[in-house]
Amino acid sequence: MLYLCTVKTAMKISQAIFSGSSTQTDERPVSRLPEFAFIGRSNVGKSSLINMLCGVGKIAHTSSKPGKTRLINHFMINQTWYMVDLPGYGFAKISKKEREGLSKMIDSYINQSAELMNLFVLLDSRHDIQKIDLDFINRLGEAGVPFSLIYTKCDKLGVNGLKAQIEKNNQTLLEYWEELPPVFATSSETGHGRDEVLNYIEKLLK
């Protein structure tokens, strides 16, 4: 199901506090709260999306050079849940050893965090879904990890172009999946899709 901008109000985020960085699940913040994590290729615009969703200032570091997130970053939202910023699975130009370390870190968090309620997988709306995305998404299915898809940078395409690209990617996904996960279209530049993502999180929290 594609969630479009059809709602008038969204969950209000009044507080977003950086709660710590970690490399292992047992190093996470002491307070155990529901977690909603965000991941995607290293140039997909993840940090910008997190800042847009929070709407209370820039909490996630953005950079013109992709692949800056190397740790699992927790942000406590309204003292009731965590927004989790994960390293990208596409990775920037790093050594094989670093790449293996990041992969192990991501897999450990996704598979061992009992508080993870949903993993948002980010895709660039301007491009066809890539093999690395499909491989990652299919691994989530095999592991039974609950996830949704978020298309980023949707302001770069016209309405018809966006719908056509998402439909094309849906058809690719349906070659592997009998049913599609929830799908969101967003833009960090315009705020498009913010209400839908936050309301979905609020729905899961209930």
Q: Which of 92-96, 119-123, 175-179 has the highest mean pLDDT?
A: 119-123
Residue 119 domain boundaries: 2-205
More confident residue, 66 or 194: 194
d(CA 61, CA 133): 23
Average pLDDT over residues 21-49: 89
Checking if the pLDDT of 204 tops 60, the result is yes
CATH of residue 125's domain is 3.40.50.300
Average pLDDT, the chain: 87
Please classify residue 130 by burial: count the beta carbons closer than 10 Å to its beta carbon, then call 0-12 exposed, 13-18 middle and 19+ buried: middle
pLDDT tens-place string over residues 125-181:
999 999 999 999 999 999 999 999 999 999 998 899 999 999 999 999 999 999 999
How many domains does the chain contain in total? Answer: 1
pLDDT at 67: 44
